[in-house]
């Protein structure tokens, strides 16, 4: 995956999170949970992109 694509996805995720935090009225606790979930998903995605995590497709939920 090209580095430019990774940077664009990170910028879009940050922008989307900023928009939700600033313009959607929600309880502060819900926003905190949403922020944590988005950060964890982005970290897992980055680990998968760089090959550190391995193949996630073998994991079943």
Q: How large is the average pLDDT for residues 7-17?
A: 95
Q: What is the mean pLDDT of residues 3-8?
A: 94
With cut-offs at 50, 70 and 90, classify the pLDDT of residue 33: very high
Alpha-carbon dihedral 30, 26, 21, 48, rounded to 10 degrees? 30
Examine the pLDDT at 43 and tell me if it is beyond 80.
yes
* Residue range 8-27: mean pLDDT, rounded: 94
Q: Are 31 and 60 in contact, with CB atoms under 8 Å apart?
A: no
pTM of the model: 0.79
Domain tally, the chain: 1
- For residue 13, give its domain range: 3-58
- CA distances (Å), origin 50, targets 2, 9, 12, 15: 11, 14, 19, 22
Q: What percent of the chain has pLDDT over 90?
A: 64
């Amino acid at each position: 995956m090209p580095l430019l694509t990774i940077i664009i996805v990170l910028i879009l995720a940050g922008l989307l999170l900023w928009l939700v935090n600033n313009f959607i009225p929600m309880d502060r606790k819900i926003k905190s949970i949403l922020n944590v979930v988005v950060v964890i998903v982005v970290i897992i995605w980055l680990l998968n992109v760089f090959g550190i995590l391995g193949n996630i497709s073998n994991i079943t939920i």
